[in-house]
Amino acid sequence: MRRLLLWMAGNRWLRRRIPQFGFARKAVLRFMPGEDADSALRAAAQFKLQGISSALTRLGENVTRVEEADEVAAHYLELLERIAAKGLDAEISVKLTQLGLDLDSERTLAHVRRLAERAAAVRRTVWIDMEGSAYTESTIAFYERLRPTCANTGLCLQAYLRRTAADVERLMPLDPAIRVVKGAYAEPPAIAFQTRQEVDRSYVALSKAMLDAVCDGRRIRIALGTHDVRLIEEIAGYAAQLKLPQTSFEVQMLYGIRVDEQRRLAREGYPVRDLICYGAAWYPWYMRRLAERPANVIFALRQLLP
């Protein structure tokens, strides 16, 4: 089921058809507050009342014209202004292929630099999502170029990739901000762990390596991007063993998933950030969410009922 859903995520014909169905548009609202930035900002304001910070992402990937990438960059610049004007504790999280990485990587770098400069002026961070393995090396190399002059930028790394432990080591000298996630794409066994146990083991090992580095004086910002509370608790236990404060890492979860746990962790004193996605281009992203938990397909199909 996971493989089928991930195949559907990449299928162009389905990408055009499925979003036209009302039941699919209704079902996706479980994972995003709406298609426009206003709804995301409203959701961020609600989270703030509960002591939960936010990160905002406008959905979309692999744009095919530079003008589209320029428009996305302009959108995020305006969004940063709106976040600051409303006093929200919100950051932004961007996909490089939505900012034109497939078309002109220098232009993409210029866009992200502009976003980071604007974000720095309003004391916010720009996160870079990690996409499929075709982009791993170019995304990491991109971050290596960006980070020395843009300290308010962070990068997502995927625990299912066998290379990630080496990538964490490689990035350490930059005192990076790293969001570690399990990984959401279909990747072959040659480059990615396939079983849940292996991925979980890798996730914990990466997180512990970063906490060890913090203990050794590195200034790494660690974000655990997962809904797996068992893993979060194991890593929190390790941080406590190292005598690091609860704020030595933050938890990031997606809008609509394990909201009760987001609130509980925030109440217990952990920094928690909810990643709020919005936008019309939700189809491939939504299919990846279904693939993470095929039981969600039943929820989607239920929307067909009156």
Residues forming the site for ligand FDA (CB under 6 A): 129-130, 156, 158, 181-185, 225-228, 252-254, 257-258, 275, 289, 292-293, 296
Phi, psi angles (nearest 5°) of residue 269: 100, 5
Beta carbon nearer to ligand FDA, 69 or 178? 178
Place of tokens 């936008």: 279
| Beta carbon of residue 109, minimum distance to ligand FDA (angstroms, whole number) | 19
Q: CA 96, CA 305: separation in Å to the nearest integer?
A: 38
Q: CA 288, CA 182: separation in Å to the nearest integer?
A: 13
Q: CA 163, CA 193: separation in Å to the nearest integer?
A: 10
Beta carbon nearer to ligand FDA, 201 or 258? 258
Beta carbon nearer to ligand FDA, 267 or 293? 293
- Decide: 189 and 233 in contact? Cβ < 8 Å: no
- Record the tokens describing residue 297, joined without a space: 């397909």
Of the candidates 303, 300, 285, 262, the residue with the CA atom closest to the CA atom of residue 43: 262
| Beta carbon of residue 231, minimum distance to ligand FDA (angstroms, whole number) | 7
| Beta carbon of residue 217, minimum distance to ligand FDA (angstroms, whole number) | 27
Beta carbon nearer to ligand FDA, 57 or 248? 57
- Decide: 93 and 135 in contact? Cβ < 8 Å: no
- Which residues are catalytic, by number? 129, 179
- Record the tokens describing residue 291, joined without a space: 């693939």
| Beta carbon of residue 243, minimum distance to ligand FDA (angstroms, whole number) | 27
